[in-house]
Structure 1
């Protein structure tokens, strides 16, 4: 199975959007791009692309393995595409939620929240260890949906998340805000304001958050970043500082209960 990554075709649009946002915000002290922050986002993003390439064969192989385990096959009809997209979006919601609630998974996600700014380049901050969340998509592979459909829907869901990382787009019409994840919703998610922490985990549809009680309206300006101050903008540090902290805490653990608490307790 081989397919052209949608990201390849979306790259010119992404680059244009970054340049346009930079031009629009260059005179705004609050929203303008910060040099070291942008370089860190770019470095993390480029490293993530390399790692994604290295893991591509493993992920494709895993999807085919689970696809072949089930005896049924769903057709390639339009409704199956809808089901696949909804299933992937829900799995992303679940992975995202647990990525904030389980420390081991937070270590694979904290990199994305490391910036104290929110702009299109923040979307590049995909952790180099994020592939651990692949286990959350096994149920989709077991649905009997052709892997090409699954991967295409996954890439569409991933690309959707790019445009919500910005402060230049205000709140949208009410019906859009009710159904879809918007920049307003995602600004809340990246905020470390007390009422914003661990809210709005949706990737395409905000309906999951409304359904499961994790929704929060944007009612004050977010303060971005994580609650623990970071010591460096070095891309290696930004990807592995939480793993280092986990290892330090594990070495101090004196019981299995402490070990489990360190790994699976809240960050």
Structure 2
């Protein structure tokens, strides 16, 4: 535990064997047994792309992590409280971090700059455990780390904050599947595979819903929850149509840059191309189509 707190970025690497075992079981007991739809299938080009994206994301986290941690320690000097971590404070940190994650996730669908990174995760038209690996190396550049600064300002030690962020992401692995239907009565509190399948859907009523990390209570409180009713159509409404991890990573950044640099466009429009919701998103909670 002390080693992981000193090097929290190692947490996901340490759990990699567990993740890979879950993928094998999902494939063998669900897909090979013919119990899951085609959208859950493991296609080798897709899986290879997902794993490559996950590796690139992990490398980016390792490279930027030291710098971000140093920034957190600088902010920590201005903390409001001296929190001595124990089990109770750890649970409080996980709750607070999950709340911050909800707002990061919601902003990632409502601000195009953040969506340029997050769209990588949504660009797959399949849903299985390998989809959880489909992450962007651009998250540190997009500013994901900013959303955890309030936790450091309150007084949670930076190493613990980073550990809680990565633990939250690790716990979300289990919701990227069609093999598990839901969590039964625990769906009232926790984000489940059913809730998260909705989040990955491009069905009009599913777009920009269910932003939860671990707890679904935030969506219920802030009016962004929708239950899974009809079959989910996975992906984004402007498909990337590539298994090249670099194309998948930079597709939306390229399109955003093109809109910013379009000739004859006002500065207000250029700013909106970066900070407004992605094109074809409507008002929050009333989106038409997601790019």
Q: Normalised by the size of structure 1, how large is the TM-score?
A: 0.95
Give yes or no for the alignment of 1:112 onto 2:117.
no
The partner residue of 1:87 within 85, 96, 118 is 96
Measure how far apart 1:171 and its partner are: 2.1
Bigger Cα displacement from structure 2, 30-39 vs 97-106: 30-39
Measure how far apart 1:122 and its partner are: 0.4
Work out the CA distance in 1 between the residues paired with 2:163 and 2:110: 28
Work out the CA distance in 2 between the residues paired with 1:9 and 1:247: 37
Give yes or no for the alignment of 1:168 onto 2:179.
yes
The partner residue of 1:122 within 109, 126, 131 is 131
Answer yes or no: is the 8 Å Cα contact 2:125–2:233 preserved in 1.
yes
Bigger Cα displacement from structure 2, 59-68 vs 72-81: 72-81
Q: How does 1:2-41 map to 2 (within 5 A)?
A: 2-3=6-7, 5-24=10-29, 25-26=31-32, 27=34, 28=36, 30=38, 31-41=40-50
Structure 2's unaligned 5+ residue stretches are 279-291
Q: Deviations over 1:176-235 (max 9, x none)?
A: 100000000000000111110000000000000000000010111101000112232211
Q: Deviations over 1:97-152 (max 9, x none)?
A: 01001111100100000100001100001111112211111101101112232222
Residue in 2 aligned with 1:97?
A: 106
Measure how far apart 1:29 and its partner are: 5.3
The partner residue of 1:235 within 228, 245, 254 is 245
Paired residues, number: 266
Structure 1's unaligned 5+ residue stretches are none
Answer yes or no: is the 8 Å Cα contact 2:118–2:136 preserved in 1.
yes
Measure how far apart 1:71 and its partner are: 5.3
Bigger Cα displacement from structure 2, 111-120 vs 75-84: 75-84
Give yes or no for the alignment of 1:260 onto 2:265.
no
Work out the CA distance in 2 between the residues paired with 1:266 and 1:151: 28
Measure how far apart 1:78 and its partner are: 2.4
Residue in 2 aligned with 1:60?
A: 69
Give yes or no for the alignment of 1:159 onto 2:164.
no
Could you list the runs of 4 or more consecutive aligned residues of structure 1 that deviate by over 4 angstroms after TM superposition?
none
Work out the CA distance in 2 between the residues paired with 1:55 and 1:259: 28
The partner residue of 1:76 within 82, 85, 104 is 85
Q: Normalised by the size of structure 2, how large is the TM-score?
A: 0.88
